[in-house]
Chain A
Amino acid sequence: MKPIEIVTQVLEVIAALAAAPLFLGWINQCRAWLQNRSAPSLWLPYRGIHKLFHKDAVIAEHASPLFRVAPYIVFGAMVVAAGIIPSMGTRLLFTNAADAIALVGLLATARVFLSLAAMDIGTAFGTLGARREMMVGFLAEPALLMVIFVASLISATTALPAITESLATQQLGLYPSLAFTAIAFTMVLLAENARIPIDNPATHLELTMIHEAMLLEYSARHLALMEWAAALKLFNYACIGFALFAPWGVSTGASGPGALLASIPLLAAKLALAGGALALIETVSAKLRVFRAPEFLAIAFLFAVLGLLVHLLLGA
């Protein structure tokens, strides 16, 4: 256990915890600019979470302990996931404990608990949201796994830091397989984080909502944790995207603490760009009907499979 590993690990988790609401605020700001609205403050998500932590929690009469525990489990899963993803350096303590497939499992665990908690109260909206979430999840997960398989085939390992390291240090070239999987990953990111073609993050008053429908019964600190976890999930997905498709500037192998420091502004720049791109996608696309979501995700899966086939056949 080298000190640099501990430093990198701690730094990454703290950065994820601190920057996730900021990333969300940045996306909201970009969206507002693109839609000619006056933008909300960059710090609004922090203020929301801070406010919710100081309120008294109201819990439904028939809520089981599962309902109380779920926010902590979901939040915990997201924090652990942030520890697995190499956003700044590839020398992580968790490397041997969990690979990319375990990461997908971790995200699935969070989803299952979120859905169970939504069903726990027994309101119509919660159940409806949970069912939709599971539908989106079971279609998005194979696509995400397929994306990860392509990257692992190229770098011959399933450990995420090792994948990043091999992709970051290889020669520059054209990889159609990676381009296809990047498209697939973007579509999965949109679907999994309740962004616009599948779900609208800006409202909780729609009959077609998915994510917000599951949070309707939560209040105060539980709601704060859930919202923070959602921001962390988006942040994590963005970092998985960087680790697979834009691994440049991550401190690797033998590089010293200087590279780790240098990777921080680079990560910030990547996040700023990704946030802008996400806001642009959300602005130019319309929300799909719920029954069109399977088609959207089938296309994502298709892109990932195409990437796999192209890699296997052309070696590119």
Chain B
Amino acid sequence: MVTIPFALQLLNLCAALLLLLSFAMLAQRRIVNLVKLLALQGAVLLAATLLLAWRTGQHHLYLSAALTLALKVVLLPWILHRLIRRLEVYWDTEPLLNISGTMLVGVLVVVFAFGLAQPISALASTATRSSIGIAVAVMLLSFVTMITRRKAMSQVVGFLSMENGLFFGAMSATYGMPMVVEFGVALDVLVAVLVLGIFFFQIREQFDSLDLHHLESLKESHSLEEDG
């Protein structure tokens, strides 16, 4: 086997853990645990950013690590936990596909993502280019999470996890995005969660449930009259 430096081994470990956490999210039925997993994903991302900043000496990465800590590990999970308590949604309904089926789809998605990332990895010149595939996989897996869930809450968690994947991808392809973009994205995500939080209340007021399939029927008079 080829020997690689220890810091890179740790980075690979972080990448593998991110992938594992994405699968754990795919399998998780409880929304509270889903948010915990999201916070954990943020923490792993934080560790990866710090490691990369220390190894490459790119100082702006420390800043984005601080941003990750403040936003993805502390603030967003806190907001989501509060929302869960206020809305009293602890469980998602049965996902559209059963767990084993979703897992198999997930594995196919990962294989697809690795194939997709191969040419990008070949072009990149960073030491972490092999993790690009994992970043793409994390994004697509979050996408699958969003598709297979019915509750608005789990879809938002999927959306945030997708942003984590995007961040990790940028980090491994080019050692992070420009600071302006990073701040912009961070702000976007924060605002999105706040706005979606308001949406949750509106959706619940309208339908007495956070199940999104109520949104699919457009005849509002009919649905409002009969579903109460």
Contacts and interface: CB of A to CB of B under 8 A. Distances in A.
A316 interface: yes
A305 B104 CA distance: 10
Interface in B95-113: 99-100, 103-104, 106-107, 110-111
Interface stretch (B1-9, B51-59, B64-72, B147-155): B1-9
Interface string A285-308: 000000000110011001001100
A174 B9 contact: yes
Interface string A67-89: 00000000000000000000000
A97 interface: no
A171 interface: yes
Interface string B87-127: 00000000000011001101100110010000000000000
A180 B23 CA distance: 13
Interface string B174-216: 0000000000000000000000000000000000000000000
B173 to A, nearest CB: 14
A313 B133 contact: yes
Given A171-B3, A176-B13, A309-B110, A315 B130 contact: yes
B114 A313 contact: yes
Contact of A309 (B12, B13, B104, B111): B111
Contact of B130 (A154, A170, A295, A314): A314
A154 B2 CA distance: 11
Nearest to B26: A302
Interface in A33-84: none
The B interface, classified by DSSP as helix, strand, loop or mixed, is helix
A310 B19 contact: yes
B1 A170 contact: yes
Given A294-B100, A299-B103, A316-B9, A309 B114 contact: yes
Q: How large is the interface on A (under 10, 10 to 19, 20 to 34, 35 or more residues)?
A: 20 to 34
B121 to A, nearest CB: 9
Given A154-B1, A295-B99, A299-B27, A305 B16 contact: no
B27 A176 contact: no
Interface of A: 154, 170-171, 173-174, 176-177, 179-180, 294-295, 298-299, 302, 305-306, 309-310, 312-316
24 contacts: A154-B1, A173-B3, A174-B6, A174-B13, A176-B13, A176-B15, A176-B16, A180-B20, A295-B99, A299-B103, A302-B103, A302-B106, A305-B107, A306-B110, A309-B114, A310-B12, A313-B130, A314-B12, A314-B134, A315-B2, A316-B4, A316-B9, A316-B12, A316-B13
Interface of B: 1-4, 6, 9-10, 12-13, 15-17, 19-20, 23, 27, 99-100, 103-104, 106-107, 110-111, 114, 130-131, 133-134
